[in-house]
Structure 1
């Protein structure tokens, strides 16, 4: 059960396909298939259910994936720990979509310019989803919003890197808002459950007399389009609103100021992570 076999197994699990895994790993499909079968033979279990060209993990495969994530992350951490002054290697970063769009382009450009040997992998998602992936060793660090009052996690370390102004955006011409009862539309457009911004907006709007309906959307462009159409209100950081060209200004009400934190597992050591921290705060 060597690291190369585990990496191939993990990639097939992520891609759900030997063909796509082979392309990503730049290996022959036959080689990927052989290594997976060898690993299954060594462990004495089937790791995948084969449905045509699609590969789905078996219950045993799901168990191994958790260990593979941790073993491969620890191996990468060990490699980087041996060269603390030379940031290099893979760094898997998770980020909220808003942060990736409005905050990361300049810092990541600086990071790449200074340390071109860092292979940064970026994925986006809701804060809770990203934190779950971090705890499962599927990510090395995440940029998330930590809601006020949310208890700290003793297994994680963090540092604030940005401060966002979280806005309730309203259709053009909406009367000024002082409190939740002043909000006229009865629908909130927001991201999926696990989004800290959605949770904060729901809590702020909870005292409304009429129950709140939720419209789950996958992008801030879609949220703003629905608000502009006059059918709902939305929750958006001001930094994202500044990026979006709109035919007419939308109403705004400040809900809160909230920090975006860079979070990593306590005890995790990485020169690449140190370089990222420096790029984010400089």
Structure 2
């Protein structure tokens, strides 16, 4: 409630605002336009007339006294003021959903936004998410993938309700208002080409974008193997591309064992153990709706080696 009031005060203190316009339904329309990139697609997805969506956005802009969107190449793009409102809208809509679920008791329902690393989504989640969908049909589960650091930031920004991240993410120095539950212990492998020129390994690391824990492990290995010079990184968007780059002799890489386990036609690469990394179930501190609790229970039941269920706060 304090967070809701703080958001409301920040949005309304600077100028007179029609609070009938700044309601949850309008904020939901605003968020759908952002996600769709156009008024037309937002209207189709919401089942509303295009003129109705246009009017609601115009009323919101007039009430706030700022432009929220600009049109670029047939797409609606947020202005800086629109980006600021988006952060508050995320928080307000999340709090409203949390309040609704809490008041409905122990019957999970509504939307649940889960983030995951790509490897975890492919290797760990298909069966438990199918089970969760079967046993909790009233929950609309939305899954997205990103690097661990970005997932954690999205949880803190109320863009995700929970996330599965490799712990610790890179560049996290200060305590954060997050609750952590360990789920999986992943074995990490250093992949190297099966054949090398003169027996020397490539001095390029293949990996995801900055913010990936496994990439940071690879950068640390490269620094130990080749000295403190900056690591050359071949940034790719999928594990298939990463493994293919290693097989082609272009790079080395750090991946979890389960990535290789999923390969039906393994590429010619060599691997060596490089330690382990814990995958954590992450939520905002104290955020525990019935849907989140039930999802965590399903994931824990499906984990191959149960880890300590004790919740940590960071």
Scaled by the length of structure 2, the TM-score of the pair is 0.83
**Residue of structure 2 aligned with 1:232, choices 251, 263, 282:** 251
Counterparts of 2:174 and 2:280 in 1: how far apart (Å)? 12
Counterparts of 1:140 and 1:12 in 2: how far apart (Å)? 21
Matching of residue 268 in structure 1 with residue 300 in structure 2:
no
- What is the CA distance between 1:250 and its match in structure 2? 2.0
- The 5 Å alignment of 1:122-271 reads 122-147=143-168, 153-173=175-195, 184-209=201-226, 211=229, 212-271=231-290
- What is the CA distance between 1:184 and its match in structure 2? 1.2
Compare relative contact order (CA 8 Å, sep 6+) and give the higher one, 1 or 2.
1
2:90 corresponding residue in structure 1: 69
**Residue of structure 2 aligned with 1:53, choices 74, 85, 89:** 74
Counterparts of 1:151 and 1:159 in 2: how far apart (Å)? 19
- What is the CA distance between 1:15 and its match in structure 2? 2.5
> Alpha-carbon deviations, 1:33-67, whole Å to 9, x = none?
11111111222221111336321111211111111
Asked if structure 1 preserves the Cα contact closer than 8 Å seen for 2:244 and 2:267, the reply is: no
1:116 corresponding residue in structure 2: 137
Runs of at least 4 residues off by over 6 Å: none
Asked if structure 1 preserves the Cα contact closer than 8 Å seen for 2:183 and 2:278, the reply is: yes
Structure 1 range deviating more: 199-208 or 88-97: 199-208
2:58 corresponding residue in structure 1: 37
Counterparts of 2:117 and 2:194 in 1: how far apart (Å)? 27
- Name the count of aligned residue pairs: 276
Give the direction of change, closer, same or farther, for the CA distance of 1:35–1:52 in structure 2 (3 Å limit): farther
Structure 1 range deviating more: 228-237 or 135-144: 228-237
Classify the secondary structure of the residue corresponding to 2:224. Answer: coil
Counterparts of 1:39 and 1:268 in 2: how far apart (Å)? 30
Counterparts of 2:176 and 2:204 in 1: how far apart (Å)? 37
Counterparts of 2:128 and 2:292 in 1: how far apart (Å)? 13
> Alpha-carbon deviations, 1:112-137, whole Å to 9, x = none?
11111110011100111111111111
Matching of residue 93 in structure 1 with residue 114 in structure 2:
yes
Classify the secondary structure of the residue corresponding to 1:185. Answer: coil
Asked if structure 2 preserves the Cα contact closer than 8 Å seen for 1:18 and 1:53, the reply is: no
**Residue of structure 2 aligned with 1:105, choices 111, 121, 126:** 126
- What is the CA distance between 1:234 and its match in structure 2? 1.5
Give the direction of change, closer, same or farther, for the CA distance of 1:260–1:141 in structure 2 (3 Å limit): same
Asked if structure 2 preserves the Cα contact closer than 8 Å seen for 1:81 and 1:269, the reply is: no
Classify the secondary structure of the residue corresponding to 1:160. Answer: strand
- Where does the alignment leave 5 or more consecutive residues of structure 1 unmatched? 176-181
Classify the secondary structure of the residue corresponding to 1:208. Answer: helix
Scaled by the length of structure 1, the TM-score of the pair is 0.92
